[in-house]
Structure 1
Amino acid sequence: MTSEITIRPIKAAETYPLRHEVLWPQESIEYVKLNQDEQGHHYGAFRNGKLVSVISLFMDGGVARFRKFATRPDCQGQGIGSQLLRQVLDDARQKGAQRIWCDARAVNENFYRAFGLEPEGNRFYRGTIPYIRMAKDL
Structure 2
Amino acid sequence: MAVIEQIFPSLTWRIRHVTMYPHQPYDFVKLEHDFDGIHFGIYVDYELTGVVSLFMEDGIGQFRKLAILPEAQHQGLGSQLMTYLIDFCKVQKLTKLWCNARVNSTEFYTKFGFHQTNQTYSAAGFDFVRMELVIQYG
- Normalising by the residue count of structure 1, what TM-score does the alignment of the two structures yield? 0.95
Aligned partner (choices 111, 118, 121) of residue 118 of structure 2: 121
**5+ unaligned residues in a row in structure 2: which ranges?**
none
Aligned residue in 1 for 2:70: 73
Correspondence 1:91 to 2:88:
yes
Q: For 2:71 and 2:125, locate their aligned partners in 1 and report how far apart those are by CA, in whole Å.
A: 24
Q: For 1:59 and 1:113, locate their aligned partners in 2 and report how far apart those are by CA, in whole Å.
A: 21
1:98-137 C-alpha deviation (Å, 9 max, x unpaired): 0000000011000000000000114321132111110010
How many corresponding residue pairs?
135
Is the deviation greater in 103-112 or in 119-128? 119-128
RMSD: 0.8
Runs of 4+ in 1 over 6 A off after TM superposition: none
Q: Is the partner of 1:96 in helix, strand or coil?
A: coil
- How far apart are 1:29 and its partner, in Å? 1.2
Aligned residue in 1 for 2:5: 8
Aligned partner (choices 40, 47, 52) of residue 50 of structure 1: 47
- How far apart are 1:16 and its partner, in Å? 0.3
Fraction of identical pairs, as percent: 32
Q: For 1:108 and 1:19, locate their aligned partners in 2 and report how far apart those are by CA, in whole Å.
A: 16
Aligned residue in 2 for 1:111: 108
Partner amino acid for 1:128? G
Q: For 1:81 and 1:44, locate their aligned partners in 2 and report how far apart those are by CA, in whole Å.
A: 10
Partner amino acid for 2:12? T
Aligned residue in 2 for 1:37: 34
Q: For 2:19 and 2:120, locate their aligned partners in 1 and report how far apart those are by CA, in whole Å.
A: 21
Q: For 1:58 and 1:122, locate their aligned partners in 2 and report how far apart those are by CA, in whole Å.
A: 19
Aligned residue in 1 for 2:98: 101
Q: For 2:124 and 2:3, locate their aligned partners in 1 and report how far apart those are by CA, in whole Å.
A: 34
- How far apart are 1:18 and its partner, in Å? 0.5
1:13-40 C-alpha deviation (Å, 9 max, x unpaired): 0000010111111111111111111110
Partner amino acid for 1:54? V
